[in-house]
Structures are given as C-alpha cells and as structure tokens.
Amino acid sequence: MARRGAYAVAVRRIISLSAPVAASAGAYVLVVRGALTLDLGVGRRVRPLGPITRTIAAAPEVVFDVIASPYLGRTPRAMHDKLRVWERGSDMVLAEHLTTAGRLTTATLETVRFERPHRVSFRLVRGPVPYVAETYELEATPEGTALGYSGELGTDLWRLGQRWADRVAAPWERTVAQSLDIIQTEAERRAADRSG
C-alpha cells in the first residue's frame, strides 16, 4: 500500500512539473506561428532589419507593379500558400503573409501601403514579435531601378526579447531577400517582354 501511495505521489509530482513545461512549449509554438503576439510594452528594444539592395534592369514603375499587383489586384493562385489579402483599398491592404521554416508555418498580419512608384511600406499588426516596420524604396538609375529594403524589429523584455529578436531577424531577412530575388526576376522578365 505504501508503494502505491509513493507511486501516486511521484506521478502527481511529474504531472505538476510537466504541465508548466508543456504550457511553455505550447506558448512558444503559438508565438513562432504568429498566433500569439506578446506586446507587453516593457523593456522594448528595436533592432534594424537590412538593408538589402538589388539593382533591377527594369523601370521603377514596372518593379512597383510587380510588388503591388498580388496585393492590389488579384492574388495569383501560385501565391495562395504565401499571401492572403484580407482587405483591399486603393493604396493600402491588410494582408497575411505565410512563411514556412522547418515544420512550422509563421503567419504575420501586416498593413501594406503603396506610394506609387517609389515606396511600399509594411507595418506588422500580428506576428512573432510585437513591432516591425519595413519599407521598399525604389529609385530610378541608369541601369533601371535601385530597390532598397530596410526596416526595424522590436521586442519586449530587455535582453530576453533581444535574444528572441536575433532569432527572428535572420529568417525574416532571408525571406525578404528571397522575395526581392523573385521581384527582380519577374520585373526583368516583364521589361524584356516590353522591349522585345
């Protein structure tokens, strides 16, 4: 009987210790996926994103159209697993961006503002961090367009948040760089089609 009682106590102790671990793991997954944004407003630290630049052999208007068309027009079927536009206006949208990293898909909800033909601005509404503001700047050059990306990412809780920001920033910037590669390829294809 004493053994059974000791076993029950051990099981209760394991359950009581594992519950907070399971809850923490669950909260972590929700934060990574962008389903839970912790915006505490305490110990906010902001770090830069980018800059990332591309020289694109196409006019700024063409590059701008490549960036804006999936948002302001009809989103191509091929992009449905990466972009969902919730609300459209004439110069601003509310859009969900989906990014797969490993086994998890992160969803960010952002406002995207279009200032034709020189700027596209992104502002995070919901995601794995409480604050992100980004811009694409387009400038005419003799080669076509200089496309520059820059932004800032903010997290709360001082050093703990800073460590989280460092974990989030690297894949964030990789995703942006991949998007810029796609934009460059498509803009240059459209420019070649127009001139040929």
pLDDT tens, 43-89? 999 999 999 999 999 999 999 999 999 999 998 888 889 999 999 99
Residues 139 and 80 in one domain: yes
pTM above 0.85? no
Residues 78 and 174 in one domain: yes
Residues 131 and 47 in one domain: yes
Q: How far apart are CA 31 and CA 98, in angstroms?
A: 14
Q: How far apart are CA 51 and CA 149, in angstroms?
A: 5
Output the average pLDDT for the chain: 87
| CATH number of residue 159's parent domain | 3.30.530.20
Residues 22 and 51 in one domain: no
Q: What is residue 20's predicted lDDT score, i.e. its pLDDT?
A: 55
Residues 55 and 123 in one domain: yes
Q: What is residue 58's predicted lDDT score, i.e. its pLDDT?
A: 98
- Provide the domain limits for residue 115: 37-195
In 41-91, alpha helices (H): 60-72
Residues 161 and 180 in one domain: yes
- The confidence band for 183, taking pLDDT boundaries of 50, 70 and 90, is very high
Residues 71 and 2 in one domain: no
Q: How far apart are CA 63 and CA 167, in angstroms?
A: 30
Residues 62 and 6 in one domain: no
Q: What is residue 40's predicted lDDT score, i.e. its pLDDT?
A: 85
Say which amino acid occupies 129: V
Q: What is residue 23's predicted lDDT score, i.e. its pLDDT?
A: 47
Residues 71 and 89 in one domain: yes
Residue among 128, 145, 165 nearest 38 (CA): 128
Does the pLDDT of residue 168 top 80, yes or no? yes
Q: How many domains does the chain have?
A: 2
